[in-house]
Amino acid sequence: MPIVTSSAGTRVWFESRGHGPALVLVHGSFSDQRSNWALVMPELQRHFTVHAVARRGRGQTDATVGHEVADEGADVAAVVRALGEPAFLLGHSYGAHVALAAAAQLPDQLRALLLYEAPWPHLIEAAVLAELEAHARRRDWHASAKRFFGGVLDVPPAELEALIASDHWGSILADAPASLGDAQALVRLRFEAGRFAALPMPVLLQTGAASPREFYVTDALARVLPQAHVDVLAGQAHEAMTTAPQRYVEAVLRFLRPLLAGTGEALVA
């Protein structure tokens, strides 16, 4: 469970397991390096040496206040550099923005980039952020998480109640304090897809067919990235790695297998 120091002096912790080509995972909000990938990790580590990054405030990674998406991108870039080999980089939700920021900092050290539904910054309205901050001052993490899932991600009431009653809700609440920092950083992000038009690596832009397409920057990136491919997962929304783990892994492998052809590397059949 190594720790590296980013260019900003932040200590960044990541967990490694499996064998094969390097795959770096960057989790989203209301999750951590374990919970985000719990259902897909057993299969991914059959094919890759998987390095799951703990973002700021999770695991042994430093907790900071007022950081930007680019700062967390530098954290992930430090992990990739520490591996000493080119890597595949995969990010989910807010973590997809972080992965994109990392890719811009080390374009020649990534074999491919995979992004699942990076949200538009304006998805979190100022009034909603103020509510989340008020809940945080009262340490009412249940209300904070419920407001985020219902008022930002637009999860239908019945599905939200089912989530609250599930085993996942405990880990969601545990991550709520760090996720407030994610929300604040996202609101400050000035996203311009054109900044990434020179990225040289193949990019897979994953999205769920049941997700509101306009919530995410998927199509904006698809218009400018020179090697972008959009993959829509039928019947899925924002958490396909949890709701359809086998299908999610199959989509990842389907994209990466051709990139390994002719390299002498092969994924497990």
The pLDDT tens digits of the residues spanning 102-146 come to: 999 999 999 999 999 999 999 999 999 999 999 999 999 999 999
Residue 157 lies in a domain: no
Q: What is the mean pLDDT of residues 8-29?
A: 96
Our separate counts of H helices and E strands in the chain read: 10, 8
Nearest to 56 by CA among 97, 15, 102, 10: 10
- Whether residue 153 is predicted with pLDDT greater than 80 in this model: the reply is yes
CA distance 168 to 151: 19
Residue 24 lies in a domain: yes
- Report the CATH number that the domain containing residue 116 is assigned in CATH: 3.40.50.1820
CA distance 237 to 209: 6
- Whether residue 266 is predicted with pLDDT greater than 90 in this model: the reply is no
- What is the identity of the amino acid at 203? V
- Whether residue 188 is predicted with pLDDT greater than 90 in this model: the reply is yes
pTM attached to this predicted model:
0.95
Residue 115 lies in a domain: yes
Residue 105 lies in a domain: yes
Report in angstroms the alpha-carbon separations of 18 from 41, 44, 47, 50, 108.
9, 8, 7, 6, 24
Q: Which H or E run contains 233?
A: strand 228-233
- For the chain, the farthest-separated pair of C-alpha atoms sits apart, in whole angstroms, at 57
Question: The tokens 């490694």 sit on which residue?
Answer: 16
- For residue 192 the two structure tokens come to 């311009």
CA distance 160 to 162: 5
The parent domain of residue 32 ranges over 3-120+190-260
| Structural domain total, the chain | 1
Residue 106 lies in a domain: yes
Q: What crossing angle do the helices spanning 168-188 and 141-151 adopt, rounded to 10°?
A: 70
CA distance 110 to 108: 6
Confidence bin at 5 (pLDDT 50/70/90):
very high
Residue 251 lies in a domain: yes
Confidence bin at 1 (pLDDT 50/70/90):
low
What region does 264 belong to: left with phi over 0, alpha with psi -120 to 50, or beta? left
- For every residue of 204-231, DSSP letters joined together read EEEEETTS-GGGBSHHHHHHH-TTEEEE
Residue 211 lies in a domain: yes
Q: What is the pLDDT of residues 56-109, one digit of tens each?
A: 999 999 999 999 999 999 999 999 999 999 999 999 999 999 999 999 999 999
Q: What is the mean pLDDT of residues 198-211?
A: 96
Side-chain half-sphere exposure of 18, counting CA atoms within 13 A: 22
Residue 7 lies in a domain: yes
Backbone angles phi, psi at 173, to 5 degrees: -65, -40
Q: What is the 3-state secondary structure (H, E, C) of 84-147?
A: CCCEEEEEECHHHHHHHHHHHHCHHHEEEEEEECCECHHHCCHHHHHHHHHHHHCCCHHHHHHH
